[in-house]
Amino acid sequence: MGFWYDETFDDHTRLSLRVNETLFSGQSDFQKVEVIDTVGFGRVLVVDGVFMTSEYDEFLYHEMLVHPALTTAPRIERVLVIGGGDGGTVREVLRHAEVRECVMIEIDEMVVEASKQYLQSIGTAWDDPRLDLRFIDGIDYVKTSRDDKFDVILIDGTDPIGPGAVLFDEDFFVGCKRMLEDDGVMALQSESPLLMMDAFADVQRTLRKLFAEVHPYLGPVPLYGTGTWSWTWCSDTGEPLRPNHERQDAIVEALKSYNPDLHQAIFALPT
């Protein structure tokens, strides 16, 4: 019969999954990391009680974080990923043959090790020689790194509570912009516009102080509360609705969700 695992959003809202068994549970220096095997969503990565990704719907999240940015940036040779310890984001980045180097900054090695062991269908690109995985603090990295700038930056963090909150601070975004080419594109997960409306609105306001073009876009992720999720596309020079069709054509057969029609549709927002 298993048991129910709750992600509690506030004192009146929670999402509960029926669990067959807990496959991994550990406390790192930063957070509690678990992998649970659920009846409805397959294996699920949970960090500090928050559902991070599932075998069932991870493609909806990762394809949407990555491909709108990687099909619209002028160049995609150097890509920086901050967070994303399950490996789904770098898997999508490395589908693009033009990517020569993908630097991934993840603070918590335990998330990567648990994902490598229990979420092998998600992290399928760990051995790609273009991947440069570093276990360091993303905040320090974007503020102090002397690495060359990046064509694309992707932020795959957790919710703006606990240790993940700093990934929504203006100082952090200023650091990201420092690491981005002048005509580069940055994309990030920006929470549920329904359940976390304040966080969604705050991040839009902050990004608009820093980038000339800031465009939130929406899609379904059933694992996340309310099922409606947002990401945000930012640039000083680019346009989100003018994708590179050759890049789209090269990847679209391998994908489960993203396609050229969807790209045009996701930026249309409700009133």
Q: Any catalytic annotation for residue 10?
A: no
Structure tokens belonging to residue 213: 């073009």
Q: How far apart are CA 54 and CA 43, in angstroms?
A: 6
**What DSSP letter does each residue of 172-240 carry, written as one string?**
HHHHHHHTEEEEEEEEEE---TTTTHHHHHHHHHHHHHH-SEEEEEEEE-TTSTTSEEEEEEEESS--T
Which of 159, 160, 233, 251 is the binder for ligand SPD (CB under 6 A)? 159
Which of 86, 106, 108, 181 is the binder for ligand SPD (CB under 6 A)? 86
Which of 38, 115, 189, 230 is the binder for ligand SPD (CB under 6 A)? 189
The β-bridge partners of 161 are none
Q: Is 230 in the site for ligand SPD (CB under 6 A)?
A: no
Q: Catalytic one among 86, 151, 156, 159? A: 156
Which of 224, 231, 233, 258 is the binder for ligand SPD (CB under 6 A)? 224
Q: How far apart are CA 189 and CA 177, in angstroms?
A: 16
Q: Is 41 in the site for ligand SPD (CB under 6 A)?
A: no
Q: Is 160 in the site for ligand SPD (CB under 6 A)?
A: no
Q: Is 54 in the site for ligand SPD (CB under 6 A)?
A: no
Q: Is 52 in the site for ligand SPD (CB under 6 A)?
A: yes
**What DSSP letter does each residue of 44-73 carry, written as one string?**
EEEETTEEEEETTTHHHHHHHHHHHHHTTS
By beta carbon distance, the residue nearest ligand SPD is 53
Q: How far is the CB of 59 from ligand SPD (least distance, A)?
A: 11
b/e 33-48 (16+ beta carbons within 10 angstroms → b): bbbbbbeebbbbbbbb
Q: Is 232 in the site for ligand SPD (CB under 6 A)?
A: no
Q: CB nearer to ligand SPD: give 99 or 167.
A: 167
Q: Is 193 in the site for ligand SPD (CB under 6 A)?
A: no
Q: Answer for the pair 221, 179: CB distance below 8 angstroms, yes or no.
A: no
Q: How far is the CB of 158 from ligand SPD (least distance, A)?
A: 5
Q: Residues binding ligand SPD: what is the number (CB under 6 A)?
A: 13
b/e 256-268 (16+ beta carbons within 10 angstroms → b): eebbeebbeebee
Q: How far apart are CA 4 and CA 10, in angstroms?
A: 18
Q: Is 66 in the site for ligand SPD (CB under 6 A)?
A: no
Q: How far is the CB of 157 from ligand SPD (least distance, A)?
A: 6
Q: Is 5 in the site for ligand SPD (CB under 6 A)?
A: no
* Residues near ligand SPD (CB under 6 A): 50, 52-53, 61, 84, 86, 88-89, 156, 158-159, 189, 224
